[in-house]
């Protein structure tokens, strides 16, 4: 039962579900529905899809997540960054506006759903760790800039193109003469009101006597007010601005991703990035919210929940979805207790797509663009550049490369370049392990770095302490260090590696040790090990290394020195007052 409840979390919270929880969830669902209608339309437009697809992506996927997700309060659906990634990927294989483009978005939802579910089943959530914080930060800031810039044309009422920031800006400049007055008026007013309501609506409502929490929730209705007001304005004034137009009325039609191996192969890398980015964003929101109520989430179960949500999107005319930050916070603040709030939100959106769609005909595109712009600009975090620069140059490079590559080349190149740079910088840092030449502290059995302590060494025996696990990134560096230290000591006969800090030795490092051993042996020098940890020793015993070992494995470094340079060890011992064992 417990195991089943882990796979189907609804069995866990569903049993304790009562009227109280239903009321809380219901209230939250109403508020999130109101917030989600303009957002869904806007993000679908950002993804280059008909606005109604945004509504469709906010129905069945929410139900799937409610059944399988491990977060109580995460709200899934279309989000800005994933919509941008969808637009980039789909426009690589089809013309925006074509049926093939819509089909490509469906395939992306299907493939990223499969990838997420597979990662959940095989517990591969750790792959998300490839995305370091600086890379995510750089990517989100760059994406929000790209998205906001991409909306300017809708607000100005002109045509413009381009996938990168320089291209977009050049195209906007080129077409600047075509600015359409009424569109700009509506777009600018909407943008200004949305910025104002984000910052000042809540304090105003509080000053009007509304309690803090409902004021915060009401302040989130800014986009709905703008949508309603602009529809009214268009109907009354008929200013000739671009509008959303016919939106099909009714529930989402069932769909099926087209099977086309070549197309799937072309979209697979993008689907992988969408899955990864969506998962990282979603888990970080879910963990933050869970912690506030001392709940916990399971990353592997999240993969399954998000994956099934995307598969649901693929079979109900949607496009890739994930957990959104803003809407999850609203859901949480509005008092959602269980995933049932998500299912109720789905019901709300379903009702909206049946009854409200005719009203959306006159909704100005410029207002949707304003909604997107204001939402994404709050994601950009320029302060991170300064903070990261101060903290670490290496993390800053990863952030800067991601930011620059995303803006100048594209979103996919940006993420991949960021991952590559952060992995390379990490391997670079690991490739220079700290290796100390050690000698005996007089009067003790302790061995310390010769550079920091007054210690006793002998010309025939070299003690080296390696302060890191040995693996492929530092194996060659260890070879070089040992060889250089040995080359500098003409009287040398024994090298003793102190392995107290070595937690593991991989096959590359083992081969390097064998190489070093043979090279030292050619020069008449024996290689010894001391203080090898249990698990490392177990593994070494499974190789031939210990059979060939030209020296021995010593229990402690002191034992090694006693055996190899008894004279020196005794001198060092007498030099102090008495021995102190650890």
- Please tell me the distance from the alpha carbon of residue 76 to that of residue 324, in angstroms, as a whole number: 6
Q: Which of 228, 229, 506, 576 binds a second copy (CB under 8 A)?
A: 506
Q: Output 366 or 499, the one with its CB closest to a second copy.
A: 499
Cβ atoms 539, 403 nearer than 8 A: no
Q: Which of 176, 391, 459, 580 binds a second copy (CB under 8 A)?
A: 391
Residues in binding contact with a second copy, number by CB under 8 A: 68
Q: Which of 249, 459, 504, 548 binds a second copy (CB under 8 A)?
A: 504
Residues within window 5-64 making contact with a second copy, judged by CB under 8 A: none
Stretch that binds a second copy, among 25-33, 109-117, 188-196, 290-298 (CB under 8 A): 290-298
Residues within window 527-556 making contact with a second copy, judged by CB under 8 A: 539, 542-544
Q: Does the CA dihedral 170-174-175-178 come out positive or negative?
A: positive
The one-character DSSP state at 35 is H
Regarding 451 and contact with a second copy (CB under 8 A), the answer is no
Question: Cβ neighbours of residue 272 under 8 Å, at least 6 residues apart?
Answer: 112, 115
Residue 103, CA distances (Å) to 91, 245, 260, 263, 275 in order: 11, 21, 11, 10, 18
Cβ atoms 313, 76 nearer than 8 A: no
Q: Which of 192, 232, 351, 429 binds a second copy (CB under 8 A)?
A: 429
Helix residue spans in 315-382 (DSSP H): 325-333, 340-355, 365-377
Q: Output 416 or 563, the one with its CB closest to a second copy.
A: 416
Question: Cβ neighbours of residue 124 under 8 Å, at least 6 residues apart?
Answer: 118, 303
Residue 473 CB, nearest approach to a second copy (Å) = 5
Binding mask 107-146 for a second copy (x = CB under 8 A): -------------------xxxxxxxxx------------
Cβ atoms 156, 183 nearer than 8 A: yes
Residue 523 CB, nearest approach to a second copy (Å) = 5
Stretch that binds a second copy, among 9-17, 91-99, 221-229, 513-521 (CB under 8 A): 513-521
Regarding 507 and contact with a second copy (CB under 8 A), the answer is yes
- Please tell me the distance from the alpha carbon of residue 196 to that of residue 443, in angstroms, as a whole number: 74
Residue 366, CA distances (Å) to 56, 70, 234 in order: 22, 37, 12
Q: Output 121 or 487, the one with its CB closest to a second copy.
A: 487
- Estimate the share of the chain in helix, then strand, then coil, as percent rounded to the nearest 5: 65, 5, 30
Residue 390 CB, nearest approach to a second copy (Å) = 5
Residue 195 CB, nearest approach to a second copy (Å) = 26
* Closest C-alpha among 489, 498, 506, 501 to residue 528: 498
Stretch that binds a second copy, among 7-15, 17-25, 227-235, 512-520 (CB under 8 A): 512-520
Q: Output 107 or 531, the one with its CB closest to a second copy.
A: 531
Regarding 294 and contact with a second copy (CB under 8 A), the answer is yes
Residue 210 CB burial class (10 angstroms; 0-12, 13-18, ≥19): middle
Q: Which of 6, 448, 453, 519 binds a second copy (CB under 8 A)?
A: 519
Backbone angles phi, psi at 201, to 5 degrees: -70, -40
Q: Output 132 or 143, the one with its CB closest to a second copy.
A: 132
Stretch that binds a second copy, among 192-200, 265-273, 337-345, 504-512 (CB under 8 A): 504-512
Q: Which of 424, 555, 575, 580 binds a second copy (CB under 8 A)?
A: 424
Q: Which two tokens stand for residue 64?
A: 């799937």
Question: Cβ neighbours of residue 433 under 8 Å, at least 6 residues apart?
Answer: 466, 467, 468, 470, 474, 477, 478
Q: Output 378 or 392, the one with its CB closest to a second copy.
A: 392
Q: Which of 491, 522, 547, 578 binds a second copy (CB under 8 A)?
A: 522
Residue 389 CB, nearest approach to a second copy (Å) = 10
Q: Which of 15, 20, 292, 547 binds a second copy (CB under 8 A)?
A: 292
* Closest C-alpha among 537, 55, 48 to residue 250: 55
Regarding 150 and contact with a second copy (CB under 8 A), the answer is no
Stretch that binds a second copy, among 73-81, 365-373, 390-398, 456-464 (CB under 8 A): 390-398
Regarding 474 and contact with a second copy (CB under 8 A), the answer is yes
DSSP string, 284-333: HHHHHHHHHTT----HHHHHHHHHHHHHHHHTTT----EE-HHHHHHHHH
Dihedral angle at the C-alpha atoms of 40, 41, 42, 43, nearest 10 degrees? 50
Residue 14 CB, nearest approach to a second copy (Å) = 21
Q: Output 151 or 474, the one with its CB closest to a second copy.
A: 474
Regarding 427 and contact with a second copy (CB under 8 A), the answer is yes
Question: Cβ neighbours of residue 130 under 8 Å, at least 6 residues apart?
Answer: 276, 419, 422, 423
Residue 18 CB, nearest approach to a second copy (Å) = 23
Regarding 480 and contact with a second copy (CB under 8 A), the answer is yes
Residue 132 CB, nearest approach to a second copy (Å) = 3
Element (H or E) spanning 206, and its range?
A: helix 202-207
Q: Which of 394, 550, 552, 571 binds a second copy (CB under 8 A)?
A: 394
Stretch that binds a second copy, among 2-10, 20-28, 189-197, 293-301 (CB under 8 A): 293-301
Regarding 422 and contact with a second copy (CB under 8 A), the answer is yes
3-state secondary structure labels for all residues of 171-202: HHHHCHHHCCHHHHHHHHHHHHHHHHHHHHHH
- Please tell me the distance from the alpha carbon of residue 529 to that of residue 523, in angstroms, as a whole number: 18
Helix residue spans in 436-582 (DSSP H): 472-487, 507-522, 534-541, 545-548, 557-564, 566-575
* Residue numbers at the binding site for a second copy (CB under 8 A): 126-134, 283-284, 287-288, 291-292, 294-296, 299, 387-388, 390-392, 394-395, 399, 422-424, 426-429, 431-432, 467, 471-477, 479-480, 483-484, 486-487, 503-504, 506-508, 510-512, 515, 518-520, 522-523, 539, 542-544
């Amino acid at each position: 039962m417990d195991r089943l409840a882990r796979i189907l979390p609804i069995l866990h919270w569903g049993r304790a579900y009562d009227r109280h929880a239903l009321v809380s969830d219901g209230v939250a669902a109403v508020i999130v529905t109101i917030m989600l209608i303009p957002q869904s339309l806007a993000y679908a437009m950002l993804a280059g899809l008909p606005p109604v697809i945004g509504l469709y992506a906010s129905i069945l996927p929410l139900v799937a997540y409610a059944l399988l997700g491990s977060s109580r309060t995460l709200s899934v659906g279309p989000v800005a960054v994933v919509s941008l990634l969808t637009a980039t990927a789909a426009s690589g294989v089809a013309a925006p506006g074509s049926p093939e483009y819509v089909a490509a978005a469906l395939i992306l939802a299907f493939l990223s759903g499969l990838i997420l579910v597979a990662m959940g089943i095989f517990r591969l959530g750790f792959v998300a760790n490839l995305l370091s914080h600086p890379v995510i930060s750089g990517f989100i800031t760059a994406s929000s800039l790209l998205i906001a810039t991409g909306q300017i044309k809708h607000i100005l009422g002109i045509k413009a193109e381009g996938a990168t920031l320089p291209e977009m800006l050049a195209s906007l400049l080129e077409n600047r003469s075509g600015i359409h007055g009424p569109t700009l008026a509506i777009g600018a007013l909407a943008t200004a009101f949305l910025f104002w309501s984000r910052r000042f609506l809540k304090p105003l409502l509080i000053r009007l006597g509304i309690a803090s929490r409902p004021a915060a929730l009401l302040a989130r209705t800014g986009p709905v007010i703008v949508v309603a007001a602009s529809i009214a304005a268009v109907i009354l004034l008929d200013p000739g601005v671009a509008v959303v137009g016919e939106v099909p009325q009714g529930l989402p039609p069932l769909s099926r991703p087209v099977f086309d191996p070549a197309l799937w192969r072309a979209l697979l890398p993008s689907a992988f990035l969408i899955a990864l980015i969506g998962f990282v964003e979603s888990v970080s929101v879910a963990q933050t919210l869970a912690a506030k109520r001392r709940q916990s989430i399971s990353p592997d179960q999240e993969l399954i929940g998000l994956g099934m949500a995307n598969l649901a999107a693929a079979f109900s005319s949607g496009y890739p979805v994930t957990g959104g930050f803003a809407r999850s916070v609203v859901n949480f603040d509005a008092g959602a207790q269980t995933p049932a709030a998500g299912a109720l939100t789905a019901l709300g959106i379903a009702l909206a797509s049946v009854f409200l769609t005719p009203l959306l005909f006159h909704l100005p595109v410029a207002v949707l663009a304003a909604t997107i712009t204001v939402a994404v600009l709050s994601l950009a975090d320029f302060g991170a550049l300064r903070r990261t620069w101060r903290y670490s140059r290496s993390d800053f490079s990863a952030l800067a490369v991601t930011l620059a590559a995303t803006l100048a080349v594209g979103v996919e190149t940006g993420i991949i370049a960021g991952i590559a740079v952060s992995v390379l910088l990490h391997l670079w840092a690991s490739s220079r392990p700290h290796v100390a030449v050690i000698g005996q502290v007089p009067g003790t059995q302790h061995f310390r770095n010769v550079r920091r302590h007054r210690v006793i060494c002998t010309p025939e025996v070299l003690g080296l302490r390696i302060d890191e696990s040995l693996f492929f990134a530092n194996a060659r560096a260890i070879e070089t260090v040992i060889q250089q230290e040995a080359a500098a000591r003409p009287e040398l006969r024994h090298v003793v590696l102190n392995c107290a800090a070595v937690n593991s030795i991989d096959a590359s490092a083992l081969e390097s040790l064998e190489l070093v051993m043979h090279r030292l042996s050619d020069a008449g020098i024996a290689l010894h090990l001391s203080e090898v940890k249990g698990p490392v020793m177990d593994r070494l015993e499974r190789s031939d290394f210990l059979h060939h070992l030209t020296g021995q494995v010593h229990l402690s470094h002191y034992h090694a020195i006693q055996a190899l340079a008894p004279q020196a060890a005794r001198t060092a011992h007498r030099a102090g007052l008495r021995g102190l064992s650890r």
